[in-house]
Amino acid sequence: MKISLKVRLAFWYSLIVGVSLSAFGLFTYFLVSNELNQSLDSSLKKVSESLNYILNQSQDEIEKQKEKPQRIAKANKKDKFAVFRESEKREFVGPVLGKPSEADIQSGLFDENNPVLTAVYEHILLNTKNYFIQIADTNLQIVWKTKNLKSNTLPFLQNTQLFFEEERSIPDSIVQQAKSTFQEYSEGSFENIYIENQKVRLFVKNTSQAIISVGYSIEDIENTLNGLFSILLYAFPIILIISAIGGLVLSKLSLRAIDEIAVNAEEITASNLSRRLPEPHTNDEVGHLTRTLNKMIERLERSFIQIRQFTSDASHELKTPLTILRGELELALRTPKKPEQYQLVLASALEETERLSNVVETLLELSKADAGQVKMTFQEQNISKLITDISEDADILAEQKKIRVEKKIPNTVIACFDSARMHQAVLNIVDNAIKYTNEFGKISIELSEEEKYAVLKVTDTGTGVPKNFLPYLFDRFYRVDRARSQETRGAGLGLSIVKWIIDAHQGIIDVKSQLYYGTAFTIKIPKKRERKDDEMEKSSKFY
């Protein structure tokens, strides 16, 4: 089953959103849980420290009373836990939760500007019913506890045996063991306990004055976390469905331009390659794709034009000698002729056959080059010797037309080339120069060298080539003047072969011409190839 790109994009989009939401939900849940628990622990600590401060203040007050005259001290004699016993008389839950008396205010113990008492009010008055507070002396005797504990007691320390004042007496050995254990928990200890099926977070602090146990119901925290979990649980599928629908819509909108490109591309065939895809006025990926496809269609159009031109020219080049050959043979058979006449007919037929054979061989060679089946052996060697040999051949070819051949060839110029193919290319250029130069004309063969290239320049004083024809000079079957080509027996493939050979050598070929004044070919052959294998061989392809 094939799944469309739109559905796949929507699926991956939804998957990413789902994973991100899950990670975010878990992170949020644990972060909130951690923050709430840390805040609760901090609150319990502050309440414990505030109560310890009150006890210390009470102890200081007792010490001051002792320093007064005996009569006054006896009248005001109180212990350090008196403040909590008096709070019981005022019937409020927890320490200092009711309105303090005038005597308490005058003593300075309940100063409204006292930061410690302010902390007690902040952490207890907000929700007094959920706080459980118990104070025991250093003998493990419970001195005071909040009324919401009822008959329950809070454990003195974490991971120690619970002591219940009303249920049993405490042996001295356990008391001594507990006292030694208290010293290890002077900083306080946290644990979770249950009071009447209610989960409570407990903080127990052992001080020099008392053992302070402060607990708080974590029901609110659990309710908050459960509410958060429910929100995340219900929001997850809703957001996921919305993201899936949104992803499908976005992918459809994003791929609409691709669909339009596909529709327009299907309408382009071999018969209308001149048509182009409409390009959007954007620099995004779709615009880049459209421009790339248009460039590809343009290359295909040029290739089709070249193929049609090649087919037409090849048909013409093959048909012309066959037509001539057939006509001459029919003429010879029409009426009896003398032996000399038959010899002329056969000689003409042989000439056309040779021309046809040359065209076929050249086409076959170019086809092999196109398929990358022509191998060349590149070697760093003296190109001066090869050019000298070709210039001597040029003397022979130019002698019939009384053409003067000027040479300027240094003794030693090194280049990397295939001898056979380079001889073929240079001889073709020189032969064309001689063919298209009038009698008593002049050609020049000049070899020089640059930093990276050996440079060959072949100049003639021939008929020249119009400037508008120069870009097509190396195309297959291209001829500037067909009538002139018929005279020289040219098929328009020679310069195509030359261009292919020079390109295979990683060289450069350039032509400059002026009509009626001559043509100059410049060939640059690298002294060293950029890429070589161990045998200096490369399969070269004609482009």
Interval 144-201: pLDDT, tens: 887 778 878 888 754 444 433 433 445 555 555 555 544 444 567 888 888 888 888 8
Per-residue pLDDT tens, the chain, 543 aa: give them.
677 888 888 888 889 989 999 999 999 999 999 999 898 888 888 888 888 887 777 776 766 666 665 544 454 445 556 655 554 444 333 343 344 455 545 544 445 554 444 545 554 544 556 788 888 887 888 888 877 788 788 887 544 444 334 334 455 555 555 555 444 445 678 888 888 888 888 898 888 778 888 888 888 888 899 999 999 999 999 988 998 898 888 888 888 888 888 888 888 888 888 888 888 877 888 888 888 999 999 888 888 877 777 677 677 667 777 887 888 888 788 878 788 888 888 888 888 888 788 778 877 777 777 666 778 889 999 999 999 999 999 999 899 899 999 999 999 999 999 998 999 899 999 999 999 999 999 999 999 999 999 999 999 999 899 988 888 888 876 766 544 444 545 556 788 889 989 999 999 999 999 988 999 999 999 999 876 444 444 444 443
Using one digit for the tens of pLDDT, what is the confidence trace for 352-402?
A: 888 788 778 877 777 777 666 778 889 999 999 999 999 999 999 899 899
Q: What is the pTM (predicted TM-score) of this model?
A: 0.47
Strands 142-145 and 518-526: unpaired
Task: Note the helical H segments in 436-525.
Answer: 482-488, 494-504
Distance of CA 515 to the CA centre of its chain: 56
CATH number of 285-368: 1.10.287.130
CATH superfamily of 375-540: Histidine kinase-like ATPase, C-terminal domain (3.30.565.10)
DSSP for 84-135, written as a single string: HHHHHHTT-SSTT-SPPPHHHHHHTTT-TT-HHHHHHHHHHGGGGGGEEEEE
Nearest CA-CA partner of 374 in 385, 360, 364 = 364
- Dist CA 50 CA 41 (whole Å): 14
Nearest CA-CA partner of 52 in 116, 145, 148, 139 = 116
Q: Which residue has the tokens 């789902």?
A: 18
* Half-sphere exposure of residue 529: CA atoms within 13 angstroms, side-chain side: 22
Using one digit for the tens of pLDDT, what is the confidence trace for 397-449?
A: 899 899 999 999 999 999 999 998 999 899 999 999 999 999 999 999 999 99
Task: Note the helical H segments in 419-523.
Answer: 419-435, 482-488, 494-504
- The amino acid at residue 316 is H
Domain boundaries, given as residue ranges, for the chain = 5-226, 285-368, 375-540
Q: Which residue has the tokens 């007094």?
A: 128
Q: Cα-flanking dihedrals φ and ψ of residue 396, to 5°?
A: -70, -45
